[in-house]
Amino acid sequence: MNSRERILNTLHRRPVDRLPVDCGGTRQSGIAAVAYHRLRERLGVNTGRPVRVYDLFQMLAEIEQQVAERFGADCVALQRPQVAFGIRNEAWKPCTLFDGTRVEVPGGFNPETEADGSWVLTRRGEVIARMPHGGFYFDRYEKYPGAAHPDLSTWRPPTVDDATMEYYHREAEALYTGTDKAIVAAFGPPYELFNGIGQGGLEEWMMTFASEPEYVQELYGLLVDAWLDNLRRFHGAVGDRVQVVQICDDFGTQASQFLSEGMFRELVLPAYKRGLDWIHAHTSWKVLLHSDGAIFGLLPAIVEMGVDILNPVQTTAVGMDPQRLKDAFGDKLIFWGGACDCQNTLTFGTPEQVAAEVRAHVGVLARGGGQVFASVHNIQANVPADNIVAMFDTAREFDAMVRATSADAARR
């Protein structure tokens, strides 16, 4: 069974030969450049060039083939040509991060250095992002439509241009014919409909969301109209070469939902459902939702919305216990992630503690199928390389042991 078959079988709840693995297949299952640099040294991987930073916002490393194969990665990402801040991933040049790690960055990445050593990115004289000195990723300050409150009689959302669609066509063809991996493409509305739309002023957006439902519905109508147009053209560009389409939106904090189920059903669900209904009616793609936080109470509505796969499965958030999730939604959702908590165990635990958590979570979420292995969100900059190795190796060894035990029991 090759990687693409393994992912597809899992998504369709058919038998697989081993647990499928995601290592860098999305922008929420990657590895920070600093941690990846140490991991390459730990694995003895020498590609002859520094670590390449493909996501400047989160400072994520491009996962090279040697590392992906070492951990059994089964999927790859179809990335935008401009992953972050409108900077094209081309004309790579050397750069040194705050901790001294040498990397390569896109040629258009030219941050200004403030008096305290922080990096800032500007556009038309306005600061759009800042990385504090000694930090590991940027904070964004751009005001997105929810915070900017545009006049909807004249404002129109951005659409994907023809050159970018041609880029998607070329890249999808290259990944489909040049690898046996499942292809994951992030292709949601022009702006995330709930959390992301409020970038640069989430409190302002939350007040608008709660007090101006007619405005929110009109804004959502414009955004989904643009999304549907983009989806039709995107499907024409990539066809069935893509297996998974990802939408991203955070509906929860670590302690609770951002909004009630009633408000979700009234405003958010109908808007997203328009796009997801089109996907399910016209393509073979499965839909992956990335949403952090304590969202157990929203999952019935999220399933109704048309989501097939949940990521990152934030097991430490309130109410997100793996057994509870598996019992309630194991027949409705594929769990993409949930293997090990990046905030605590993976960062501050020992390799033995990492292995124990992986065994516990995989033992629940992968039981009977239904899990794609990945950590809970990106592997952060301060995660020890030994813990990363322990996480992936334990998954493979534990999965093999469970399958061998099951086969032995069946023979008896």
Q: What average pLDDT does this structure show over 328-352? A: 97
Q: Measured between alpha carbons, how far is 357 from 351 in angstroms, rounded to an integer? A: 10
Rounded to the nearest 5 degrees, what angle is found at the Cα of 196, between the Cα atoms of 30 and 151?
Answer: 150
pLDDT at residue 403, rounded to an integer: 84
Per the prediction, the chain carries an average pLDDT of: 96
- Model pLDDT for residues 156-211, shown as the tens digit of each residue: 999 999 999 999 999 999 999 999 999 999 999 999 999 999 999 999 999 999 99
Instruction: Please tell me the pTM assigned to this model.
Output: 0.96
Instruction: Quote the pLDDT of residue 330.
Output: 97
3-state DSSP call for residue 15? coil
Number of H helices, E strands in the chain: 14, 15
Band of pLDDT at residue 402, cut at 50, 70 and 90 = confident
**Interatomic CA distance for residues 239 and 348, integer angstroms:** 43
In the chain, the percentage of residues whose pLDDT exceeds 70 is 99
Q: Using one digit for the tens of pLDDT, what is the confidence trace for 272-327?
A: 999 999 999 999 999 999 999 999 999 999 999 999 999 999 999 999 999 999 99
Residues 6+ apart with CB under 8 A from 76: 24, 25, 175, 179, 181, 182, 183, 184
Residue ranges and CATH numbers for the domains of the chain are 3-49+63-84+144-411 (3.20.20.210)
Long-range contacts of 14-20 (CB under 8 A, 24+ apart): 14/369, 15/369, 16/369, 18/72, 18/396, 18/399, 18/400, 18/403, 19/362, 19/366, 19/371, 19/373, 19/395, 19/396, 19/399, 20/74, 20/75, 20/372, 20/373
How does 74-89 read in b/e, with b if 16+ C-beta sit within 10 Å? Answer: bbbbbbbeebbbebeb
> Residue 407 pLDDT more than 80?
no
Distance, C-alpha 245 to centroid of its chain: 11
Cα Rg of the chain, angstroms: 21
pLDDT of residue 409: 65
Structure tokens at 322: 């793996």
**Helix H or strand E segment including 54:** strand 51-55
